[in-house]
Structure 1
């Protein structure tokens, strides 16, 4: 029997996935079916690049719909009820990168919700693992996947 995978998401992350699913089902799927219909109308399908592209897009859309439905079916909402200054999933942290003399704010989230460009880092990333369960004021050495190390100071936990 296969082990059921559980996906950890914040409520905002779940809402975002539901919005994406709605867009795929109600808009993208319909647009794609229209594109397939138009490509079929062009005649010979064996050498029809528009038809091939539309079918490939259809496969991508349907795969993403199935993926999102699987995530939603097996989601665990991350809740942070405590007001402590301990870093954990769902918390927002202000970090000071010592070597770069730079501050950055991140929210710790589950792996599938992670998007560093948007300030969301995975709790399973090297940085996430290093700062997890640490407190405001702690200095932490982070070892990256490339083997390099750097220091961060946890300035604030919200």
Structure 2
């Protein structure tokens, strides 16, 4: 099984979500299921069917989080002498087409959230930026079309 890089903060967030689902949400759903079961396990008992489906969905979500956590490898970065784009780096890039500047932290796919400035190293733009130095321009084929970016600076 291939390990997926993740930051400590991202791992803690995934783990906290798993604990919340197990300790808070699951007991509520099981209680609703038991309550609905009192009316009988029949095809016409919509309350039971709904509670059972909620339990299945919750269990799928818990299983998914457990699988993600088992694949994670926490990457702890230090101060690097080389100023190039790597996992955990905070970067500023300029979209050459629009002139807009974006600030990102390079993270793993499980904690990626572009709206909050976390860019996955597995995304098309992330793959194009990895290993590059400030001042370099890259052209990336994205789902929205071809984009050209210039790396303004890299911090750790």
Give the aligned partner of residue 138 of structure 1: 136
Tell me by how many angstroms 1:19 deviates. Answer: 0.5
Give the aligned partner of residue 62 of structure 1: 59
**SS of equivalent residue, structure 1 residue 124:** coil
Instruction: Give me the whole-angstrom Cα distance separating, in 2, the residues matched to 1:75 and 1:116.
Output: 20
Instruction: Give me the whole-angstrom Cα distance separating, in 2, the residues matched to 1:64 and 1:150.
Output: 35
Tell me by how many angstroms 1:55 deviates. Answer: 1.1
TM-score scaled to structure 2, two decimals?
0.89
Tell me by how many angstroms 1:40 deviates. Answer: 1.9
Whether 2:6 is the aligned partner of 1:19: answer no
1:100-145 superposed Cα distances (whole Å, 9 cap, x missing partner): 1111111111122212122212111110111110111212112224
CA-based RMSD: 1.7
Whether 2:40 is the aligned partner of 1:37: answer no
Tell me by how many angstroms 1:27 deviates. Answer: 0.5
Tell me by how many angstroms 1:73 deviates. Answer: 2.7
Q: Structure 1: any 5+ residue segments left out of the alignment?
A: none
Instruction: Give me the whole-angstrom Cα distance separating, in 2, the residues matched to 1:112 and 1:39.
Output: 35
**SS of equivalent residue, structure 1 residue 112:** coil
Q: Structure 2: any 5+ residue segments left out of the alignment?
A: none
| Matched length | 154
1:27-59 superposed Cα distances (whole Å, 9 cap, x missing partner): 010110111122223345321222222111111
Q: Residues 29-108 of structure 1: matches in 2 within 5 Å? A: 29-43=26-40, 45-83=42-80, 84-108=82-106
Q: Residues 113-124 of structure 1: matches in 2 within 5 Å? A: 113-124=111-122
TM-score scaled to structure 1, two decimals?
0.88
Tell me by how many angstroms 1:22 deviates. Answer: 0.8
Give the aligned partner of residue 148 of structure 2: 151
